[in-house]
Structure 1
Amino acid sequence: MKKMIANLASREKRVAVLENGVLRKLEIMPPQKRSTVGNIYLGKVTKVLPGMDAVFIDYGAEKNGFLHRDEIPSFQLTKKSDGKASIGQFVRQGEKLLVQVTRDETGTKGAKLTGLIEFSTESLVYIHGIDYVGVSKKFKNDDLQKQWRETAMLHKNPDEGLIVRTSMENESESVFLDRLTGLRELHKGLEVKAASLKAPSLLHERDAYLDMIISEMSGTATGELAIDDFEAYRELKKWIQENRKEWEISHVSGTRNIFSEWNVEAQVEKMAKKIVWLDNGGYLIFEETEAFTVIDVNSGKFTGKVEKEATLFAVNQAAAKEVARQLRLRNISGIILIDFINMDQSRHKQEIIEIVKKEAVRDEKRIQVIGFTELGILQMTRKRTSPSLSEMTTVPCPVCSGSGKIESPETVAFRLERELLEHRKTDDEAVWVEVSKAVADVLLGEKESYRPALEELIAKKIFLSFIPGLTNAYSIKRFGSIQEIGRAFE
């Protein structure tokens, strides 16, 4: 049974989705990193890029957004069959445009934008700026599917796109028209509002927390929701009643953390770790970079009771299922490379691919499984629309700059030695160096056995003071006479 735990009472919003007590999805939204996907802005074209068929848009964020020609209404409504018209025919620098965010800023890249403004309800999606009609493929009745396509074509305007969702299948045409009219009025209201504002301006802000919860409830007939924010509880209870859902909703009050109360906090804490243990004793190692993510599969403590190939295949089977779960939990997107334990039989590789594809069906992000390379690495992609969990909740280490490694004491000590040697011919009698203890131990040797030789080599007496902490570093503070440097230590 699906359960949702919504921790909305504090500034950092968190929503957890569990199935049979196991965490399947987690959304963490710090206030300073709140997703802007779905937000609508009045933006201004700052630069036209003919070579990329795109423009940069100032929509009020730190980085300008990226808008491709294919996402511009004037192109969609007048494009020729070859689709090769230059972007300069449809937009110019300095022009104001309504834009919607489809992918958040990630790393050094600005947000991805569209000029095809979209409003969604559970039963109907309205897109302004494109001539299109789509009907859900999940309709059980083919005749009704055809009927709804004809109905949508009949009532839409030439500059409108409509997608009829599954929940509209058994509704009446009057309900369809009411919802279509409401969505049209939303868009018209935006245009009126934009006419009175300067660019850049925020026109519509999506309520990401409630939208995410409603989206989860829409996809399942029944479930349980526990929430610690009373206003959100009232709004969601009203939605459940209006949409005739069988979800049970409860408001949790009190001082205890709702995630702790529902035994979710411990599962959340594990997601910050690079290593993920499998139930059979194998484990995964996650390495995220800006370009791609590498996942290494290891047999660990699992030895198995059958032949080697079967043992390795069993580890890989468990790993394939857990990888799919972790990608969704950690919101890892882009290019993903999985280094499964090498298998000799090609049918086993194909079965691993099928497991990943089957698990990917549960993911709301589009996943494409490419296949195994000659080196036995499975290639796949997951559509990126927002930063990963690690990007949302961590910052680069100020010591290692995000590499996960720092220079060894030996490397730093020998660099200091070379720098001191550059001053060996100066008239100064002494030098004061501030240094970390580990670097000092290498520089002067065990029990400072190398100190006499080094001082003779640089022709100076060495005075040391120590930098606290684990960083391997040094700083040459001062050169001077022995008396001058000595007084600094008194």
Structure 2
Amino acid sequence: MSEEILINVTPQETRVAVVENGVLQEVYIERARSRGIVGNIYKGKVVRILPGMQAAFVDIGHDRTAFLHASDIRPVSGVENAGPVPPINELLQDGQEVIVQVLKDPIGTKGARLTMQITLPARYLVYLPYSRHIGISQKIGDEATRERLRALVKSALPEGAEEGGYILRTLAETAAEEEIETDIRYLRRVWVACQERIRSAPVLSLIHEDLPLALRAMRDLVRGNVEKIRIDSREVYTKAIDFGIEFIPEIAERIEHYPGERPIFDLYSVEDEIQKALDRKVMLKSGGYLILDQTEAMTTIDVNTGAYVGKRNLEETLFKTNLEAAQTIARQLRLRNLGGMIIIDFIDMAEAEHKRQVLRALERALARDRTKVYLTEMSPLGLVELTRKRTRESLEHVLCQPCPVCEGRGMLKTPQTVCYEIFREILREARQYGADGYLVLASQAVIDLLFDEEAGSMVKLQEFIGKPIQLKVEPLYTQEQYDVVLM
């Protein structure tokens, strides 16, 4: 499976598209005004301890205080402790200065999630400055390979190095000894610079900032099957080449500057695919479709057969639609970056073997996801629950905001509903105030209905209250807005 990475750079934002076999799979967006802060290290200050939640709020110099759980506090000794976590008020005090790293960006109304267990990522390794542990990615399953890599790291450590542990990333499986050594030198240089900042910087300072998106994409997304990295900015291309030569020399020759007049995201219809990823409805090639709804608590995905009727029987139709849906759902989770709890409502199938095959197909499709996904068995009702680790905002939350008209409900009251609300409001006003008449201000659709289908009701209401009612269109009003003005 061949991959290309397209990087579109403007002064306002950087966008990265991961394309597999000509099909968009993932999109990353970083805006200059709202750069993500995951991976950043701060010198913060504890502002409030919550013993009941085993957590503390920490000021890191941002608008919202961040959240630090007791389980994410580094033991004083710097050695991992398998025992129970002590009470939070034994670990921290109000006003205490702490060195913390951001685990999760602020999402919605929630502040950033923090840890004191600092990690610094490189191409093949993650450095753990407060640990002596050497770990291996779980995706490297072969025991002989795991032992070889562990020995490789130990032999590559500089003489007299006593502090610091490492986790070998999945990419390290094919790394040469000199590449591991290069990563170790780079990570130790970064940590030395961090220590200097920790000593000299005032509280609420940024100690270390993660790489910008374009370089981060090269570090984290480029694997052996990536054929090209195309960048449409000459300046960022130059930085990428320098970064590649220093830290990832094997990919430097795959980095290209894209000078074409046609926008880079028009290749492989990336712009169109991003627009489609904002729709609730996703069409399947068979004629079926998915409906995706994001809520505060979870994301729900409903699978429907639509126009697909199959060739032989109903069970075959349902099975084929669910199989296609499983592939599409895995892609949509990556493309839309949906995280947290996700409920999939597959079409109910009678045969247990069909259910098993659909679930296995979903598992295989999710195996390509870089983000950790936990999947449950299919319930008797045909529901599949899964959780996908959430570290940043979904594509919809990055590009969109709740509709100011429906306030995120996705529905509006009908003009008829609003008419009846107006009638009740007029009756309420008539009982309370002795006005000479009433002026109704409302949207065009509501006023049209009052003049047309509800004209008889208007006449009866005027007779009942004994006062005239005038109607006026207010062009700026939404369908749900209205005012009843006393005359």
Q: Same fold (TM over 0.5)?
A: yes
**How far is 1:74 from its partner?**
2.5
SS of the equivalent of 2:376 reads strand
Instruction: Assess, with a 3 A threshold, how the Cα gap between structure 1 residues 447 and 9 changes in structure 2: closer, same or farther.
Output: closer
**How far is 1:274 from its partner?**
0.9
Instruction: Assess, with a 3 A threshold, how the Cα gap between structure 1 residues 355 and 175 changes in structure 2: closer, same or farther.
Output: closer
What is residue 326 of structure 1 aligned with on the other side? 332
1:272 aligns with 2:278: yes
SS of the equivalent of 1:349 reads helix
Question: Partners of 2:189 and 2:153 in 1: how far apart?
Answer: 22
Q: 2:475 aligns with which of 451, 460, 468?
A: 468
Higher mean displacement: 274-283 or 72-81:
72-81
Q: Which amino acid aligns with 2:287?
A: G
**How far is 1:30 from its partner?**
2.9
Instruction: Assess, with a 3 A threshold, how the Cα gap between structure 1 residues 191 and 147 changes in structure 2: closer, same or farther.
Output: closer
SS of the equivalent of 1:451 reads helix
Deviations 1:324-363 (A, max 9, x none): 0000000000000011111111121111111111111111
Question: Partners of 1:79 and 1:7 in 2: how far apart?
Answer: 42
Higher mean displacement: 420-429 or 133-142:
133-142
Q: Which amino acid aligns with 1:72?
A: I
Q: 1:238 aligns with which of 219, 239, 242?
A: 242
Q: Which amino acid aligns with 1:366?
A: K
Question: Partners of 2:3 and 2:175 in 1: how far apart?
Answer: 25
What is residue 409 of structure 1 aligned with on the other side? 415
Question: Partners of 2:234 and 2:329 in 1: how far apart?
Answer: 36
What is residue 193 of structure 2 aligned with on the other side? 189
**How far is 1:15 from its partner?**
0.9
Q: Judge conservation of contact 1:421–1:458 (CA < 8 Å) in 2.
A: yes
Question: Partners of 1:98 and 1:292 in 2: how far apart?
Answer: 32
Q: Which amino acid aligns with 2:102?
A: V
Q: In the TM superposition, what are the counterparts of 1:276-295 in structure 2 within 5 Å?
A: 276-295=282-301
Q: Judge conservation of contact 2:126–2:166 (CA < 8 Å) in 1.
A: yes
What is residue 306 of structure 1 aligned with on the other side? 312
Question: Partners of 2:80 and 2:229 in 1: how far apart?
Answer: 46
1:127 aligns with 2:125: no
Q: In the TM superposition, what are the counterparts of 1:49-68 in structure 2 within 5 Å?
A: 49-68=50-69
What is residue 113 of structure 1 aligned with on the other side? 114
What is residue 484 of structure 1 aligned with on the other side? none
What is residue 437 of structure 2 aligned with on the other side? 430
Q: Judge conservation of contact 1:79–1:85 (CA < 8 Å) in 2.
A: no
Question: Partners of 2:9 and 2:204 in 1: how far apart?
Answer: 30
What is residue 398 of structure 2 aligned with on the other side? 392
What is residue 377 of structure 2 aligned with on the other side? 371
Deviations 1:166-190 (A, max 9, x none): 5376644x76556434423422322
What is residue 446 of structure 1 aligned with on the other side? 453
Higher mean displacement: 427-436 or 255-264:
255-264
1:94 aligns with 2:95: yes
Deviations 1:74-102 (A, max 9, x none): 35736654324212222211111111111
Higher mean displacement: 315-324 or 201-210:
201-210
Question: Partners of 1:46 and 1:357 in 2: how far apart?
Answer: 43
Question: Partners of 2:181 and 2:266 in 1: how far apart?
Answer: 45
Deviations 1:218-246 (A, max 9, x none): 32254112211112212223344452237
**How far is 1:112 from its partner?**
1.0
What is residue 217 of structure 2 aligned with on the other side? 213
Q: In the TM superposition, what are the counterparts of 1:12-23 in structure 2 within 5 Å?
A: 12-23=13-24
Question: Partners of 1:268 and 1:389 in 2: how far apart?
Answer: 9
**How far is 1:445 from its partner?**
5.0
In structure 1, the gaps of 5 or more residues are 481-490
SS of the equivalent of 1:74 reads coil
Instruction: Assess, with a 3 A threshold, how the Cα gap between structure 1 residues 208 and 371 changes in structure 2: closer, same or farther.
Output: farther
Question: Partners of 2:85 and 2:362 in 1: how far apart?
Answer: 37
**How far is 1:215 from its partner?**
3.4
Q: Which amino acid aligns with 1:476?
A: V
**How far is 1:442 from its partner?**
4.3
**Could you tell me the TM-score, scaled by structure 1's length?**
0.90
Q: Judge conservation of contact 1:222–1:246 (CA < 8 Å) in 2.
A: no
Q: Which amino acid aligns with 2:236?
A: A
Q: Judge conservation of contact 1:76–1:130 (CA < 8 Å) in 2.
A: no
**How far is 1:410 from its partner?**
2.4
Q: In the TM superposition, what are the counterparts of 1:31-46 in structure 2 within 5 Å?
A: 31-46=32-47
Q: Judge conservation of contact 1:414–1:443 (CA < 8 Å) in 2.
A: no
Instruction: Assess, with a 3 A threshold, how the Cα gap between structure 1 residues 31 and 327 changes in structure 2: closer, same or farther.
Output: same
1:317 aligns with 2:323: yes
1:360 aligns with 2:366: yes
Instruction: Assess, with a 3 A threshold, how the Cα gap between structure 1 residues 188 and 87 changes in structure 2: closer, same or farther.
Output: farther
Q: Percent identity over the alignment?
A: 33
Instruction: Assess, with a 3 A threshold, how the Cα gap between structure 1 residues 159 and 458 changes in structure 2: closer, same or farther.
Output: farther
Q: CA RMSD in A?
A: 2.6
What is residue 486 of structure 1 aligned with on the other side? none
Instruction: Assess, with a 3 A threshold, how the Cα gap between structure 1 residues 107 and 155 changes in structure 2: closer, same or farther.
Output: farther
Q: Which amino acid aligns with 1:91?
A: L
Q: Which amino acid aligns with 1:466?
A: V
Q: Which amino acid aligns with 1:329?
A: L
What is residue 208 of structure 2 aligned with on the other side? 204
Question: Partners of 2:33 and 2:465 in 1: how far apart?
Answer: 52
Higher mean displacement: 162-171 or 458-467:
162-171
In structure 2, the gaps of 5 or more residues are none
Q: Which amino acid aligns with 1:88?
A: N
Q: Judge conservation of contact 2:415–2:479 (CA < 8 Å) in 1.
A: no
Question: Partners of 1:239 and 1:26 in 2: how far apart?
Answer: 22
Higher mean displacement: 288-297 or 344-353:
344-353
Question: Partners of 1:219 and 1:150 in 2: how far apart?
Answer: 25
Query: How many pairs align?
Result: 478
Higher mean displacement: 466-475 or 37-46:
466-475
SS of the equivalent of 1:232 reads helix
1:248 aligns with 2:254: yes
Instruction: Assess, with a 3 A threshold, how the Cα gap between structure 1 residues 152 and 45 changes in structure 2: closer, same or farther.
Output: farther
**How far is 1:24 from its partner?**
1.1
Q: Judge conservation of contact 2:145–2:173 (CA < 8 Å) in 1.
A: no
Q: Judge conservation of contact 1:423–1:458 (CA < 8 Å) in 2.
A: no
What is residue 487 of structure 1 aligned with on the other side? none
Q: Judge conservation of contact 2:103–2:391 (CA < 8 Å) in 1.
A: yes
Q: Judge conservation of contact 1:24–1:325 (CA < 8 Å) in 2.
A: yes
Q: 1:228 aligns with which of 232, 240, 246?
A: 232
SS of the equivalent of 2:405 reads coil
**Could you tell me the TM-score, scaled by structure 2's length?**
0.90
What is residue 342 of structure 2 aligned with on the other side? 336
SS of the equivalent of 1:449 reads helix
**How far is 1:51 from its partner?**
2.0
Question: Partners of 2:175 and 2:334 in 1: how far apart?
Answer: 32
Q: Which amino acid aligns with 2:193?
A: G
Question: Partners of 1:143 and 1:197 in 2: how far apart?
Answer: 40
